[in-house]
Amino acid sequence: MVVRTARQRVRHPYVTREKGICGGSPVIKGTRIRVAQIAIEYEHLGWSPDEIIRAHPHLTLAQIHDALSYYYENTEEIHAEIRRDEQVVEELKKMYSRSAIPVG
């Protein structure tokens, strides 16, 4: 039995973050698919990894599982990112509501 007293850093070979890609959010390496997007599809939409691959046929099962692993090890960070995205959407809805668009 192995007892961990300190959190060990886990390598995620398929996840990266770079300033110039998606604002520095964690993404699947070589793509612009954010870990947050994979987490939403898995957790909130209830998609299986196979269903996620059908939606993103350029990804591999290993990439999906690594993104999910990253998500579960960094849930607070990813949930904060999702909340920020939701706030942006709400602000855009207010700015571009139907009542603000002239008719005619």
**Tens digits of residue pLDDT in 63-72:** 999 999 999 9
Instruction: Tell me the pLDDT band of 6, cut-offs 50, 70 and 90.
Output: low
Find all residues with CB under 8 Å of 94, minimum gap 6, and list them.
none
* Helix, strand, coil % in the chain, rounded to nearest 5: 55, 5, 40
| Matching CATH number, 15-98, of 1.10.10.10, 3.50.50.60, 3.40.50.1820, 3.40.190.10 | 1.10.10.10
The pTM of the whole model exceeds 0.85: no
In whole numbers, what is the pLDDT of the chain averaged over residues? 88
Q: Which helix (DSSP H) or strand (DSSP E) does residue 89 occupy? A: helix 75-95
Tell me what the mean pLDDT of segment 19-33 comes to.
Answer: 94
Q: Which residue has the higher pLDDT, 86 or 42?
A: 42
Note the helical H segments in 35-74. Answer: 35-39, 49-55, 61-73
Tokens of 51: 């269903």
